[in-house]
Amino acid sequence: MIEAVNIEKSFDGKEVLKGISATFEKGKTNLIIGSSGTGKSVLLKNIVGLVHPDEGYVLYDGRDFTNGDKQLQTQIRREIGMLFQGSALFDSKNVEENVMFPMDVLTDTPFEEKLERVNFCLERVGLENVNSKMPSEISGGMKKRVGIARAIVNNPNYLFCDEPNSGLDPQTSITIDELIAEITHEYNITTVVVTHDMNSVIEIGQKVIFLYQGNKLWEGSNENITQSEVKELNDFVFANRMMKLIK
Amino acid sequence: MQKLGKFILFMGTLFTRRENFGTYVKLTIDECIKVGYNSLFIVTIVSVFMGAVVTVQTAYNLVSPFIPDYVISLVVRDMTVLELSPTIIAIVYAGKVGSNIAGELGTMRITEQIDALEVMGINASSYLVLPKIIASMIMYPMLVVLSAFLCMYGGYLTSLATGIISGYDYIYGIRYEFIEFNVSFALIKAFVFSFLVASISAYKGFFTSGGALEVGQASTAAVTNSCIAILLADYLLAQLLLA
Ligand SMILES: Nc1ncnc2c1ncn2[C@@H]1O[C@H](COP(=O)(O)OP(=O)(O)O)[C@@H](O)[C@H]1O
Ligand SMILES: [Mg+2]
């Protein structure tokens, strides 16, 4: 379980996060939703420590990541896997080297074992025979899969995904969402997914947090999201015609 | 002034929270190939032509029966060692390597590759930038030595081809009253310039934000800022070491 407590963050005097508290549960896919520019990515970056919050702190299973000492932070970092919006594969490394990289820098595993683990992870995300391909040679959907393989290679306890299906066609989006959900349940990971895609909310929104202009306005799940009284959330949920028809 | 402070802080981050030594050796060798080997072609071309042109122009300016022919190559040699090879090639180097470094780091920044490194607990500035600076400081002085040789050789070929001065006089002039300190001076300049190009370009690239447009701007800024820094440093070093 991850607890974010009263996170505040400003950039150049502009308040982006205005005191957000949220808990993300183990073995579930926790979604942070909201329209573009509301601070979803900034919240995620605060949680994983890429950005230091002005106020507040983040607990990983009770361990204070924000104010903890270097040793604790390193320990927690080892337990984190992250999938970035544009996959963020290293251009100069091939698929195998990309997936192996977190093991190279965070563990002392011998090469043979690393290779075995890399192949296992690539297989798990449905990729085979791409080990020697460069990132520029594979499709967007495959990059996401490689990104997921890289994120899970060190057996993380916490998995973060920033807009995992941005730039993908609807069908590939759903398979990626499903893959993330499967991995979460299979390995009992605390997964946090940032998205603005209602399809994902319906598919994998076991827990949903709605952000609006730097505030958390609602939390719940895909089961009760359509019944909320929050106007901003309803505007977001029923933005497209299909959802309106369903309503 | 604020930028200078930020730059110095950035240089400070290169030396904190490092990876193990072996990692750096490997990364630095990779960078050496990128920085040095890949610059060989342009440095060769520019040096040979520079030597040829300088020889012709010096000869053109020294048409006097009172000045012996070997003075031409002597002038070529001193200009090459003192200024042309370390400084002019540094400008070329800034255009080639500086823009490359800024472009690479800028792209890594906007595509979140730098964030990906930091999430894994790697000090991205040290991991990415330090090997580039070290590689630059190893390879650029070698390029300068090569360039100086090629520049003088270019002049030699020209004098043979055009008959401005005889090959014998040319070699005589190259050897005449040779001041060894000039070579040390050229190497000192090479170290300083290579550091400036690599660090300024890395700084520009590392702090890119936005998109492809900003990466392009960062590359341009890396080259212009490096050139200005090179010329300033050139002047300061001349004052300090020659005056
Ligand atoms: N490093 C930064 N410096 C300044 N402003 C930033 C920075 N990162 C994000 N912002 C601003 O914070 C706001 C929220 O951004 P973000 O979290 O990326 O939105 P989204 O919800 O679409 O992911 C935006 O207005 C953005 O301009
Ligand atoms: Mg975002």
Question: Are A106 and B113 in contact (CB < 8 Å)?
Answer: no
Residue B211 pLDDT level (bands cut at 50, 70, 90) = very high
For residue A163, how far is its CA from the centre of ligand 2 (angstroms)?
Answer: 7
Cα distances (Å, whole numbers) of residue B157 to A247, B58, B85: 85, 15, 18
Distance CA A243, CA A7 (A): 32
Tell me whether A45 touches chain B (CB under 8 Å): yes
Nearest CA in chain A to B111: A88
CB A16 near ligand 1, within 6 Å:
yes
Domain encompassing residue A186: 2-79+156-246
Regarding whether A240 and A171 lie in a shared domain, the answer is: yes
Encode chain A (247 residues) as per-residue pLDDT tens digits: 999 999 999 999 999 999 999 999 999 999 999 999 999 999 999 999 999 999 999 999 999 999 999 889 989 998 999 999 889 999 999 999 999 999 998 888 999 999 999 999 999 999 989 999 999 999 999 999 999 999 999 999 999 999 998 888 888 899 999 999 999 999 999 999 999 999 899 999 999 999 999 999 999 999 998 888 888 888 888 887 677 777 6
Q: What total number of domains does chain A contain?
A: 2
Contact B14, B120 (CB under 8 A): no
Question: How many CA atoms lie less than 13 Å away from B154 in the CB half-sphere?
Answer: 24
SS3 content of chain A, % helix, strand, coil (to 5): 40, 25, 35
Q: Per-residue confidence at B214, pLDDT binned at 50, 70, 90?
A: very high
Confidence of residue B2 (pLDDT cuts 50, 70, 90): confident
pLDDT in tens, B121-153: 888 999 999 999 999 999 999 999 999 999 999
The domain that holds A208 is classified in CATH as: 3.40.50.300
Check if A86 has its Cβ closer than 6 Å to any atom of ligand 1: no
Report CB contact under 8 Å: A105, B116: no
The answer to whether residue A217 is domain-embedded is yes
Shared domain check, A164 and A66: yes
* Residue A124: closest CA among A193, A198, A189: A189
User: Domain range spanning residue B205?
Assistant: 2-241
Question: What's the pLDDT at B17?
Answer: 66
CB-CB under 8 Å, B112 with A85: yes
Coil, strand or helix: which one is A23? strand
Q: How many domains does chain B have?
A: 1
Structure tokens at B121: 């607990």
Q: Strand A2-11's sheet: what is its strand order?
A: A14-24, A2-11, A55-60, A63-64
The residue of chain B with its CA nearest to that of A72 is B121
In-domain check, residue A52: yes
Residue B188 Cα, gap to closest chain A Cα (Å): 33
